[in-house]
Structure 1
C-alpha cells in the first residue's frame, strides 16, 4: 500500500497546485494582458495551453486522488459502488438539466472543462460530483457514527448531511464559475439566488442525495471505523475546493456575494471540520504519520465483508 499512498499524495499535491495555478491565472494573469504579451512565443503557447486545460487537469487529479484514497482505505467494493452511481446519476442529471432546464434551471457549459458528452456536459463534471461527493459522504457518515444515534438515523443523516455539504460547496462554486469575468458555464435565466435559480439548490441537494442513497444501499450498515488521520484526505480535498470557489467569488464579484460565501462556510466548512473532529484520533505516531497504513488490511476487510 505504500506506493499507493505515495501516488495519492502526489496527486493531491498536483490537485492543490493546479487549483492554485488556476487562481493565479484567473485573478492575476488574465486581467493583465500586457504580462502575457511580454512572454516569449513559447511562454505564450504554454500559458494558453495550461489555461485551456487547467480545469480538466485539476478535476482529473482530484478524482484520481479520491479514487486511490477510497480503494486503499475503504476497499474496491466501496470505491466502485460509490463512484459508479455518482458518475452515472450525476451525468444523467446534468444531461437532463442542460437539455430541459430540470433540475438545475436553464444553463449551458462553455469551454475549458474538456470534451462534452453529447455536446452538452464536459466529461469532467461527473468526476467532480464523484470526488467531492465521496468526501462529503465519508465525512458525514464517519462523524455521525461517532455519536449515539439509532442506526437508521445514522444512515439517513449521512445522506442528508452529505448532500448539504455538497450543496454548500456549490454556493461558492456556481458564482465563481458562472458570473466571474472568465466563466465556465452560464445560466439562461435570471437567478433569484445570487444569479442562480432556486431550483439549482434543490437540484444539487436532490442529485447528491440520490447517488449517496444508492451508494449506501451497496455499502450496507457496517460502520466505516475511520479515524481522523484516515479522514484527512477527504477534509483537505473539500476545503481546498471550497477555497478555490470562495476566493474567486469574494475577489471577483461584489460584496453581495459575501452572503452565499458565508452560507457555504456555515453549512459546509464548519460542519465538515466538526465531523472530522468528532471521529476518534489515530492511535500511535506511526498511524498518524502514515495514514494508518498498518491497519489497511482490517479496514479493507470491513468494507468488503459487509451486507
Structure 2
C-alpha cells in the first residue's frame, strides 16, 4: 500500500527536564563572566568594583551543580546538595574558629558577607561545585565499565586535592580570599591543609554517592557538565598562577589538564554538541502536559545527549 494509505506515525516529542532551562541560563551567565574574569585576573586588571566576581562565580557554579544533582537524582539530589552545603559550612566554621582540620586561617572581606560571622557565603557553594564536579570527572576518567563507588571515592578526592594545590597561591597571595596564620613549606600553606582537603572531599563525596550513586555513575542530564566546570576552574587558577610567577604549580596544573584532556579527548569532543542540544531543548516553548516524572524523572532524551548511547 502507498505511504498515503498508511501515514507515518508521529512520535510525541521527548519532554525537556524542567531544570534544563534554569541550568542552561546559569551556565550561560557563568561562561559570560568567566570569559572576562580570566584575563582581568591574570593581568591584574580587575577594577575595584569587580572584586565581587570571584564570589559570584562560586555561587553560580555551586547552584549549577546543585541543580545538576537535582536534575539527575530528584529529591535525593536536592538532599545531597543541602548536606554538602551544611557539612562544608560546619567544617569551614570549625576550621576558622578552632584551627582544625585545615590549620589556622582567617577569611578576608573579599568574598563578601559571612555566614554566622565566620565563613563567607560563597565558600560552601564552592564545595557544592567541587564535589559533583570531581565525582563526574572521575567517572569519565575511569570509564563507564569501571565506574564504581570505590573507584570514584579514590579518584574524586585526589582531583579535589589537585585543584587545591593550584588554588592556594591564587586564593591567598593573588586574590586575598583568605590568609594563613599557621605557615607551611608549600607556598606558606600548612601541610595539614592538604590532608584535610582530601579528608573533607572524601567525606562529602561519600555522602553524595550514598544518596545519588546511580545519578553520578549514569547521569542523563548534561553528563559532561561536571567535567566542563572542573576543567575551567583548574584552567583559570593554573593560568593565573603562571601569570603571577608561580611557574611550578601553574605548569603542574596545566600539565594535569593536558593529560586529562588527552585521556578524555572523546568526551571533550562531544561536549559542544551536548551543550548545543541542551540549549536547543531549553529554548523550546511548548511542552506536552503530564510528561515529567517526579523525583529523578526523565532527564531528557538520553540518546540525543550522549553519543555513546547510539
TM interval, short-chain normalised = 0.7 to 0.9
Pairwise CA distance, 1:10: 2.7
Say which is worse superposed, 53-62 or 137-146, in terms of deviation. Answer: 137-146
Once the two structures are TM-superposed, the CA of residue 71 in structure 1 deviates from its matched residue by: 2.5
- Please provide the CA RMSD for this pair: 3.6
Secondary structure of 1:230's partner?
coil
Shift of 1:124: 0.9
**Correspondence 1:9 to 2:24:** yes
The 3 A distance-change label for structure 1 pair 272 and 140 is farther
Question: Which residue matches 1:259?
Answer: 248
- Alpha-carbon distance between aligned partners in 2 of 1:197 and 1:17, rounded to the nearest angstrom: 35
State whether structure 2 residue 94 is matched by structure 1 residue 67: no
Give me the whole-angstrom Cα distance separating, in 1, the residues matched to 2:59 and 2:134. Answer: 18
1:212: which partner in 2?
205
- Aligned residue pairs total 275
Question: Aligned residue for 1:35?
Answer: none
Q: Give the one of 77, 80, 83 matched to 2:78.
A: 80
Query: 1:12-91 alignment to 2 at 5 Å?
Result: 12-28=27-43, 30=45, 47-51=47-51, 53-72=52-71, 74-91=72-89
Q: Do the aligned residues in 1 keep the contact of 2:235 with 2:257 (CA within 8 Å)?
A: no
Task: Tell me if structure 1 keeps the 8 A contact 2:54–2:111.
Answer: yes
- The aligned counterpart of 1:185 is 178
Moved more, 258-267 or 62-71: 258-267
Question: Which of 218, 228, 233 is equivalent to 1:236?
Answer: 228
Contact 1:139 1:272 in 2 (8 A): no
The partner residue of 2:159 within 165, 176, 179 is: 165
Using the TM superposition, give the Cα deviation of residue 132 of structure 1 relative to its aligned residue in structure 2, in angstroms.
Answer: 2.1
> Counterparts in 2 of 1:134-149, with a 5 A limit?
134-144=132-142, 146-148=144-146
Between the aligned partners of 2:190 and 2:129, the Cα distance in structure 1 is: 25
Distance of aligned partners of 1:142 and 1:246 in 2 relative to their CA distance in 1, 3 Å threshold: closer
Partner of 2:277: 290
Pick from 99, 103, 115 the counterpart of residue 113 of structure 2. 115
Q: Which is worse superposed, 114-123 or 204-213?
A: 114-123
Question: For residues 271-306 of structure 1, what are the alpha-carbon distances to aligned partners after superposition, in whole Å with 9 as ceiling and x for unaligned?
Answer: 477368579x79xx997842497xx96994489xxx
Do 1:56 and 1:113's aligned partners in 2 also have CA atoms closer than 8 Å? yes
Q: Hey, what does 1:39 align to over in structure 2? A: none
Task: Determine the C-alpha separation between the residues in 2 that align with 1:208 and 1:259.
Answer: 24
Matched, 1:174 2:173: no
CA shift, 1:114, in A, is: 2.1
User: What is the alpha-carbon distance in structure 2 between the residues aligned to residue 185 and residue 55 of structure 1?
Assistant: 13
Gaps (5+ residues) in structure 2? 1-15, 282-291, 300-310
Larger radius of gyration: 2
C-alpha deviation, 1:233, in angstroms:
1.5
Segment drifting more, 204-213 vs 84-93:
84-93
Residue 154 of structure 2 is aligned to residue 155 of structure 1: no
TM-score (norm 1): 0.75
Distance 1:3 1:301, change over 3 A: closer
In the alignment, which residue of structure 1 is the partner of 2:240? 248
Q: Distance in 2 between matches of 1:265 and 1:299?
A: 39
1:41 corresponds in structure 2 to: none
Partner SS for 1:214: helix
More helix by share: 1
Return the offset for 1:139: 2.4
The more displaced of 77-86 and 185-194 is: 77-86
